[in-house]
Amino acid sequence: MPSIVNIAAYQFASLTELPALRCELRELCQRLDLRGTILLSEEGVNLFIAGTREATDELVRRIRALPDCANLDVKESLSDEQPFNRMLVKIKREIIAFGVPGIDPRQYTSPRMTPQTLRDWLDEGREVTLLDVRNDFEVQAGTFSGATAIGIDHFRDFPDAVARLPESMRQQPVVTFCTGGIRCEKAAPLLEQLGFEQVYQLDGGILNYLETCGEAHYQGECFVFDRRVAVNAALEETDTAQCFVCQATLSAEQQQSPQFIEGESCPLCYRTPEERATARLAERQAALRRVIDPLPGSVPYDNFRPISVPERCHGLTVLDFLDAMKTHLSRDAWEEICSAGELFDRGAPVDASDTVRAGQRFLHKMPATLEPDVAADIRLVHEDDALIVVAKPAPLPMHPCGRFNRNTLSWILREVFQPIQPRPAHRLDANTSGLVVLCKNRRVSRPVHAQFADGSVQKTYLARIQGEPNSDAFSSALAINPKPTPHGIRVGAADGLPARTEFLVRRRYGDGTTLVEARPLTGRTNQIRIHLWDLGLPICGDPAYRPDHQLGDKQTLTPRDAPLCLHAQRIALRHPLTGERVEFTTVLPTWAK
């Protein structure tokens, strides 16, 4: 014999002192070991509760003692198990979300039709519109024969859905119905307000009809908002389940499908791994568009940049330490920053004369920061449980540096993928476009970084160069100085770090430029640019490595400048989880087509 009593009830009433009432009801339900939900509002109370007969009866007595709640009508059914996981008592603006001013069931409700009267009308074949005001996934479980579904995913959408009803319906009798009647308390008066001439609401909803009249004129089951999912005409739990992804109700046969994975998919919403990957990329791309419009660094904000004290500066004053760091700011500028209280240590401003210690970390506040514009049309190429691959536009710095903080690839992707913090496995210059591989966590980051370190990652770049190589295949093994010039530019050096790049001509143009494929076998900073510049074949648009072996003093280009014609076109590596070789490519830039 089922021992759990399931009750559903609502009452529109003018309630006050809701916080105190919530605490009282929560303590009462905890003492009675009840579970479910009670919604409280200034317009009344709505509850779905389950427990023992004694416990539910005591709760009902307390609710009926509230102002205007003496006539609380309770719908009951029995189950073998507790259908709710926890007990919630919430304060809401409305006990049933609707959002239409002027609809107040405490003041007016449409005429009620008893279940017996509705059954008689249907037995007689009267012309009447049965309007199901429930959500589509509820209707799927069962409804009255010949009923018209309003066609909504949430009851708050009901007012807009009414506009889609045919004009002819306004002159004929309309009976609205829902699970227990509460939604009709607002839906039916709205129909009257909009000019429907004969509107009734089914008293007590489907549950009252099934209890009173059985399954006459009703097909299927009745959806309920608890773990039972649906009940039959005898108000008994059925084998129906619900997909918590698409909300569809599932028969016992559908639950046997291999496409039904609880919490993940069902036969109605199942997608292949490829389809899921495509959908996930589309969702991420939409999120990315929201993050970059407007550019995050184009809105003034207080930027806090960290400055750490190295061992060599231990014991210096704050001002001497800052001066010794050789930043782009002068000693006088740092003194003004300290005087303005814009240098902090653990949240407190510091004085320029304070002594620093090795490892100490300061934060430099830069108020109302505005960053230069960048190209932000980042395209997501691939995402799985371990890797993210994007096509980076140019110019766009990868990491915060100099004048850039939020207008960087790393900051933008953290916003899109949060709480995941993507970790770049390698880097591209701000002016270089193309593929960037990122890892989703430290565990997969280590084996991927190891592949870049040992040279097993195959990288292919495209570059449009000034000049025509003598051979279609050539290479450079110029060593690269690890120390930059005063302008921050690296160059070749006989005693520098070993570096090698192989080149293959892809196309020779009539204007004296050439499209080449570059394959760096090592990964030095600016390696491809330095090797081509040293060979007298500088890359078109390069602001640093100029023709005739001249060095420029400009680093990052602006979106209005002619582009640096260097593009990371292809990358191949072993997947850190499967060990399989994976390869990614991206579309050709305009200058390479």
Active site residue 269: no
Length of the chain: 593
Task: Report d(CA 224, CA 78) in Å as an integer.
Answer: 13
532 contact partners, CB below 8 Å, separation of at least 6: 463, 465, 476, 503, 516, 518, 538, 539, 545
503, 474 contact by CB (below 8 A): yes
Secondary structure (DSSP) of 168-213:
GGGGSEEEEE-SSSTTHHHHHHHHHHTT-SEEEEETTHHHHHHHHH
Secondary structure (DSSP) of 499-536:
--EEEEEEEE-TTSEEEEEEEESS--TTHHHHHHHHTT
Record the tokens describing residue 8, joined without a space.
């559903």
Record the tokens describing residue 31, joined without a space.
């003492």
| Residue 419: cis peptide before it, omega within 30 degrees of 0 | yes
Neighbour count for residue 494 (Cβ, 10 Å):
7
535 contact partners, CB below 8 Å, separation of at least 6: 469, 474, 476
Which of 9, 83, 10, 8 has the alpha carbon at shortest distance from 41? Answer: 10
| Residue 482: cis peptide before it, omega within 30 degrees of 0 | no
For helices 409-417 and 273-292, the axis angle rounded to 10 degrees is 120
Which of 394, 376, 310 has the alpha carbon at shortest distance from 566? Answer: 394
Neighbour count for residue 156 (Cβ, 10 Å):
14
Distances (CA, A) of 560 to 374, 463, 511: 9, 20, 23
106, 55 contact by CB (below 8 A): no
Record the tokens describing residue 163, joined without a space.
């506009």
Out of 23, 29, 69, 178, the active site residue is: 178
221, 231 contact by CB (below 8 A): yes
Secondary structure (DSSP) of 145-172:
TTPEE---SSGGGHHHHHTTS-GGGGGS
**Degrees, nearest 5: CA angle 456-459-464:** 155
434, 392 contact by CB (below 8 A): yes
SS3 103: coil
| Residue 166: cis peptide before it, omega within 30 degrees of 0 | no
186 contact partners, CB below 8 Å, separation of at least 6: 96, 98, 100, 103, 105
Run of H or E residues at 335: helix 331-339
Run of H or E residues at 304: strand 301-308
Catalytic residue numbers, as ranges: 178
